[in-house]
Structure 1
Amino acid sequence: MPTPDFIRAVRATAGQQLLFLPGVSAIVFDDARRVLLVRRADTGRWSIIGGIVEPGEQPARTAVREVYEETAVRCVPERLVLVQTLEPVRYPNGDLCQFVDTSFRCRATGGEARVNDDESLEVGWFPVDGLPDLEDFAVSRIKQALGDGPAWFDPMTGV
């Protein structure tokens, strides 16, 4: 994903030190219960859709925006799937980030799935029992989104 301008501004003074950032993931289903995936340009791997929350933006709006920007699919968030702090990531340029991911199950409402920006190589709908090779991150969110249970979060056991 391209670096948002507000992060470039912070990096100008903070350098490559750890930035703690809000992120979202969108698990989008169509009426046939297929899940919308993108093959990322940066890694070449299939993944769910995600992005960084802009200052002043609500996470659910970020999910809707990211889905449209990356795939040209319109969607509405249906429920919160999980909230999780991820492991820090060091990017090839040396920048260090750690994301708090808020994941939403979304329902597609329109648009034709296609590559809609330079972040993706391919876009496609996949049946849940026919997913391509995905990171555990994506698989766990898809599984969680399929249910109607409460949102997942670390229950802080043993604290």
Structure 2
Amino acid sequence: MAIPDFIVKLREHIGHDPLWLPSVTALIIRDVPPGSPFHVVPDVLLVKRADNGEWTPPTGIVDPGEQPHIAAQREVLEETGLEVSVEALLGVGKVGPVTYDNGDVTSYMDTTMRCVVSGSSDVPFVADDENTEVAWFPISNMPVTNQRFRMVIADAVAQLKHPQGFKPRMGYEKRQA
């Protein structure tokens, strides 16, 4: 994984001490065509991470001075080769702390957004060295094991299907009934 230069410089000063960073999660949802049978479900675009082999939505760190929605578009392009536009805010919340193999400790203030493909193609490809695979999966048969990602993918589909009644998630804990 390439560590952004600004983080390398920060780590020169703070070592492995906890670092708080803004991040984004981009959920690219491909809805079912109108008139499809009831059992057909939307697809979600996922990447298989090179560092741990997990399937996740595209994620990344917001660069200094960068707007979160621009960071989401950049990360999707860098990771999957697809151009997207942001359609909806799904939530904001803390992720971590995460302790990396080198001892660095980082927590993230993550902004999660639902995106749609805006370019001329929806055929993804591995566009960086952070991932080993990229593919569309029906949400009913996706290889995501991380509970937070499963939860926000469900949020993305709920927001897509019922935008008027959707409230962005504040925090990534389970919603209270």
TM-score above 0.5, yes or no: yes
Contact 2:29-2:156 at 8 Å conserved across structures? no
Q: For 1:57 and 1:133, how far apart are their aligned partners in 2?
A: 28
Aligned: 1:58 with 2:67: yes
Instruction: State the Cα distance separating 1:86 from its structure 2 match.
Output: 1.5
User: Which residues of 2 match residues 9-158 of structure 1 at below 5 A?
Assistant: 9-32=9-32, 33-110=42-119, 111=121, 112-148=123-159, 149-154=166-171
Q: For 2:81 and 2:96, how far apart are their aligned partners in 1?
A: 30
Q: Deviations over 1:10-52 (max 9, x none)?
A: 0011111000000000000124331100000000111111000
Contact 2:93-2:170 at 8 Å conserved across structures? yes
Match of 1:157 in 2: none
Q: For 1:124 and 1:37, how far apart are their aligned partners in 2?
A: 6
Partner of 2:84, secondary structure, is strand
Point out where structure 2 has 5 or more consecutive residues left out of the alignment.
33-41, 160-165, 172-177
Read off the aligned partner of 1:139 and give its amino acid letter: R
Over aligned residue pairs, what C-alpha RMSD do you find? 1.1
Read off the aligned partner of 1:135 and give its amino acid letter: N
Q: Deviations over 1:96-148 (max 9, x none)?
A: 00001100000112342010000001000011111114211210110111112
Percentage identity across aligned positions? 41
Q: TM-score, normalised by structure 2?
A: 0.84
Point out where structure 1 has 5 or more consecutive residues left out of the alignment.
155-159
Read off the aligned partner of 1:86 and give its amino acid letter: V
Q: Deviations over 1:46-82 (max 9, x none)?
A: 1111000000100000000000000001110001001
Partner of 2:169, secondary structure, is coil
Read off the aligned partner of 1:137 and give its amino acid letter: R
Q: TM-score, normalised by structure 1?
A: 0.93
Read off the aligned partner of 2:64 and give its amino acid letter: P
Partner of 1:26, secondary structure, is strand
How many residues are treated as equivalent by the alignment? Answer: 154
Quick check: which has more Rg, 1 or 2?
2
